[in-house]
């Protein structure tokens, strides 16, 4: 298919509707956009009539020279006429137009019929292009579905509910086939979105026809589509088989665009909107990068990469939150929650789920930063056995991060999906209490430092407050109390599991005393064995009686002579070394030579 065309009717219609007013049911704005769009396409294709007064009919379209623009032109003409008809219908329902309501409804019928005519022309061109292998089976299926939906809605507007039910049921069946065989999550969400839109219309037509199980939309679609799909769609079975073959061939190419199933409490979270699929695919890619960093066990010195991965996840989740919020607001403003199927009713839940994921990832990132601050001491410990001291100047930064974590947890606690789950709400409350305790633990030293700096800067008598005297002695007492509490915490931690973060306290064995003291004191093993009772103490031998002291009488003259003889002689001074003059002696002194 060298000169094949790429035309997606449902995708193009959905993008144009969401971007230009139909998200909020502004049909007048969308109609104006369609008029401008058709004029630009005509100018690009050189299909304008010019500025002359004489009308010159354009030559008929040749299938061989047909481009994507020709198909887009027919689609936008159909959208323009359909938007005009819906605008006229909404005007006829206003109280100010009661007198001309019949005229407005008649004009709306004419515009609706023109829209069906444009879509029928589009379908005929697509069938010819598909026969010449210039158009894929997916493009022809989407064009067929678009035409069936317009026909079914027109028949429902004319209150021909039986034929409308058949048309809409076949369209719903084809949309289900598209969603089941789609290789990308975006195409699947696109088919599900249109199926959710026509589901209530199928139920309404079945109710007007008096069916007993009008609520069973899937059963009605299965019953009617199996009987009428080949009559309404030429070669329906062969077209579907060819479409599935094309999708199988594209599986290895489009595998990265498949969104993994989002889970909440063991149940899948439905993502039934193409815009949400796009942003959640970005979130999925960012999470895979983070998993790669976690598998490599990046050390704290390389924590910048993991923090950058968290930032990428937060950016993608912020985009997802923005899209989900706009979709939720559009659903609330139009009041379409009661008239839509169960798929779009999950928009409020999906918005809360996105907020929960955003807050949880933000809290994880902040805890990562706290660990990085605590693991980067200003002065490393000299002894490897002693724990590294944390610089007290990082405590204010840690307190700010814990404030952010508490804010995220409090916001998470107010979400409906958390409040409805008692176990999860209790878990979040426990994390809030733990974060408050951690904040107080780091807030006390940082506040002490701040108090000391204020006192050191205010040395004048004016800074003394009469009703609240504060001295350095009281400040020192408070600081010593904090130090003693911190020391007690460390001792309790060491006694619990040896001061390890990940060690199980049950598997921790306390070291024996002599294994600890052996590194610091000399151990007398003989004395230790004696005290243990494993070796008998030797009997001390009887010491001989000391002899009685005898006094010796010497004459005074002899005593003086003995003292003079025992006095040490004064040593003679050593001869001084010869001093060498000149440059050699000077340089020798520099290098320590004699």
What pLDDT digit, counting tens, does each position of 460-512 carry? 554 566 666 767 777 777 778 777 877 887 787 777 776 666 666 667 666 65
Asked whether the predicted pLDDT for residue 446 surpasses 80, the reply is no
* Residue 472 domain-assigned (yes or no): no
Same domain, 35 and 175: yes
pLDDT at 279 over 90: yes
Specify whether 167 is located in the same domain as 224. yes
Q: Which of 376, 400, 435 is the last residue of a domain?
A: 376
Question: What's the pLDDT score for residue 474?
Answer: 74
**Which ranges constitute the DSSP H helices of 250-302?**
274-295
304 vs 175: which has the higher pLDDT: 175
Beta bridge partners of 402: none
Same domain, 229 and 317: no
Please state, for a pLDDT cut of 70, what percent of the chain lies above it: 75
Joined tokens for residue 345: 């009713």
- The angle formed by the CA atoms of residues 108, 29 and 120, to the nearest 5 degrees, is 50
Q: Do 266 and 358 fall into the same domain? A: yes
Q: Per mean pLDDT, which range of 244-253, 261-270, 412-421, 463-472 is the poorest?
A: 463-472
Backbone angles phi, psi at 421, to 5 degrees: -110, 110
Could you tell me if residue 281 is inside a domain?
yes
Could you give phi then psi for residue 361, rounded to 5 degrees?
-70, -35
What is the residue range of 118's domain?
9-49+63-254
Q: Lowest mean pLDDT of 236-245, 250-259, 342-351, 585-594, name the range.
A: 585-594
- Window from 28-42, 52-66, 104-118, 435-449 with minimum mean pLDDT: 52-66
Among 309, 341, 376, where does a domain finish? 376
pLDDT at site 289: 87
Q: Is the pLDDT of residue 33 over 80?
A: yes
Whether residues 264 and 369 share a domain: the answer is: yes
Q: Tell whether 22 is covered by a domain.
A: yes
Are the C-beta atoms of residues 280 and 271 closer than 8 Å to each other? yes
pLDDT per residue over 323-342, tens digit each?
Answer: 999 999 888 877 654 444 44
| The token pair that represents 299 in the structure block | 């050390």
What 3-state DSSP class applies to 263? strand
Do 220 and 329 lie in a common domain?
no
Q: Which pLDDT band, with edges at 50, 70 and 90, does 526 fall under?
A: confident
Residue 477, domain member (yes or no): no
pLDDT at 224 over 90: yes
**Secondary structure class of 334 (helix, strand, coil):** helix
Domain membership of residue 576 (yes or no) is: no
In a domain, 81, yes or no: yes
Q: Is 268 helix (H, G, I), strand (E, B) or coil?
A: strand
Asked if residue 386 has pLDDT above 70, the reply is: no
Q: Who contacts 431 (Cβ-Cβ below 8 Å, separation ≥6)? A: 409
Question: pLDDT value at position 393?
Answer: 75
| 100-113: pLDDT as tens digits | 999 999 999 999 99
Distance of CA 38 to the CA centre of its chain: 40
Which segments of 132-259 does DSSP mark as H helices, in order? 137-157, 161-181, 185-208, 217-232, 236-249
Which contacts qualify for 366-374: CB closer than 8 Å, 24 or more apart? 366/401, 366/402, 366/404, 366/405, 366/408, 367/405, 368/303, 368/306, 368/307, 368/310, 369/307, 369/401, 370/398, 370/401, 370/402, 371/300, 372/300, 372/303, 372/307, 373/397, 373/398, 373/401, 374/398
| The predicted structure's pLDDT at residue 6 | 87
Does 231 share its domain with 282? no
Q: Is the pLDDT of residue 385 over 80?
A: no
Least confident of 161-170, 416-425, 437-446: 437-446
Tell me: pLDDT of 187 over 50.
yes
- Residue 196 falls inside a structural domain: yes
Which contiguous run of DSSP H or E holds residue 308? Answer: helix 303-334
Residue 20 lies in a domain: yes
Mean pLDDT to the nearest integer, 272-298: 86
Residue 515 has pLDDT above 60, yes or no: no
- Number of folded domains in the chain? 2
Would you call 84 helix, strand, or coil by DSSP? helix
The yes-or-no verdict on residue 203 having pLDDT over 80 is yes
Strands 267-269 and 262-264: antiparallel
Give the per-residue pLDDT at 437. Answer: 85
Most confident of 122-126, 567-571, 579-583: 122-126
Query: Based on the domain organization, do 226 and 275 belong to the same domain?
Result: no
First-to-last C-alpha distance (Å) of the chain: 99
Q: Count the helices and strands in the chain (H runs, E runs).
A: 20, 2
Q: What is the mean pLDDT of the chain?
A: 81
The confidence band for 575, taking pLDDT boundaries of 50, 70 and 90, is: low
Identify whether residues 209 and 265 lie together within a single domain: no
Position 2 confidence tier, pLDDT thresholds 50, 70, 90: very low
Q: What is the pLDDT of residues 551-565, one digit of tens each?
A: 444 444 444 444 455
pTM score of the predicted model: 0.73
Same domain for 128 and 222: yes
Q: Could you tell me if 116 and 13 lie in one domain?
A: yes
pLDDT at residue 562, as a whole number: 46
Residue 472, pLDDT score: 72
The token pair that represents 413 in the structure block: 């606690």
Q: Residue 298 corresponds to which tokens in the numbers above?
A: 């990046």
Q: Single out the residue in 376, 406, 426 at which a domain terminates.
A: 376
Q: Does residue 89 sit in the same domain as residue 230?
A: yes
**Residue 214: CATH number of its domain:** 1.10.3450.40
CA distances from 55 to 50, 52, 183, 337 (A): 9, 7, 48, 49
């Amino acid at each position: 298919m060298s000169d094949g065309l790429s035309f997606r009717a449902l995708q193009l219609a959905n993008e144009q509707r969401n971007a230009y007013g139909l998200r909020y049911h502004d049909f007048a704005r969308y109609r104006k956009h369609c008029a401008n769009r058709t004029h630009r396409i005509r100018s690009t294709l050189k299909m304008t009539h010019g500025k002359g007064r004489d009308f010159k009919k354009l030559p008929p379209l040749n299938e061989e020279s047909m481009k994507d623009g020709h198909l887009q032109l027919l689609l936008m003409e159909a959208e323009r006429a359909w938007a005009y008809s819906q605008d006229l219908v909404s005007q006829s329902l206003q109280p100010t137009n009661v007198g001309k309501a019949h005229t407005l409804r008649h004009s709306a019928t004419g515009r609706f019929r023109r829209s069906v005519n444009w879509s029928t022309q589009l379908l005929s061109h697509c069938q010819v292009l598909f026969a010449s292998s210039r158009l894929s089976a997916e493009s022809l299926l989407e064009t067929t579905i678009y035409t069936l939906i317009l026909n079914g809605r027109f028949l429902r507007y004319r209150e021909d509910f039986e034929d409308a039910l058949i048309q809409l049921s076949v369209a719903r069946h084809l949309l289900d086939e598209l969603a089941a065989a789609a290789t990308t999550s975006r195409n699947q969400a696109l088919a599900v979105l249109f199926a959710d839109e026509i589901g209530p219309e199928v139920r309404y037509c079945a109710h007007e026809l008096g069916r007993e199980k009008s609520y069973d939309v899937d059963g009605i679609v299965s019953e009617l589509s199996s009987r009428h799909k080949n009559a309404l769609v030429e070669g329906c079975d062969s077209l579907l088989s060819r479409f599935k073959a094309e999708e199988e061939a594209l599986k290895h190419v489009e595998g990265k665009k498949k969104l993994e199933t989002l889970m909440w409490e063991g149940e899948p979270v439905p993502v039934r909107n193409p815009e949400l699929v796009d942003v959640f695919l970005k979130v999925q890619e960012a999470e895979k990068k983070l998993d790669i960093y976690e598998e490599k066990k990046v050390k704290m010195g390389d924590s910048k990469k993991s923090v950058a991965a968290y930032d990428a996840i937060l950016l993608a989740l912020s985009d997802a939150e923005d899209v989900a919020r706009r979709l939720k607001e559009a659903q609330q403003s139009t009041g379409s929650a009661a008239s839509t199927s169960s798929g779009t009713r999950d928009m409020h839940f999906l918005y809360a789920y996105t907020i929960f994921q955003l807050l949880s990832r933000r809290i994880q990132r902040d805890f990562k930063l706290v660990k990085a601050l605590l693991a980067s001491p200003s002065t490393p410990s000299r002894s490897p056995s002693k724990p590294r001291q944390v610089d007290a100047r990082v405590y204010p930064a840690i307190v700010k991060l814990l404030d952010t974590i508490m804010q995220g947890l409090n916001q998470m606690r107010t979400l409906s999906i958390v409040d409805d789950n008692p176990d999860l709400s209790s878990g979040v409350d426990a994390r809030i209490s733990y974060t408050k305790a951690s904040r107080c633990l780091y807030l006390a030293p940082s506040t002490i430092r701040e108090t000391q700096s204020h006192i050191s800067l205010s040395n004048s008598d004016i800074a003394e407050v009469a009703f609240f005297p504060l001295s350095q002695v009281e400040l020192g007492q408070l600081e010593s109390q904090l130090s003693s509490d911190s020391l007690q915490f460390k001792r309790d931690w060491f006694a619990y599991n040896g001061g390890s973060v990940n060690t199980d306290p049950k598997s921790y064995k306390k070291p024996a005393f002599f294994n600890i003291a052996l590194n610091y004191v000399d151990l007398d093993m003989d004395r230790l064995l004696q005290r243990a009772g494993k070796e008998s103490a030797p009997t001390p031998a009887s010491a001989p009686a000391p002899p009685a002291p005898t006094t010796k009488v010497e004459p005074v003259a002899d005593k003086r002579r003995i003292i003079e003889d025992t006095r040490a002689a004064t040593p003679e001074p050593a001869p001084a070394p010869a001093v060498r003059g000149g440059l050699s002696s000077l340089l020798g002194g520099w290098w320590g030579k004699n």
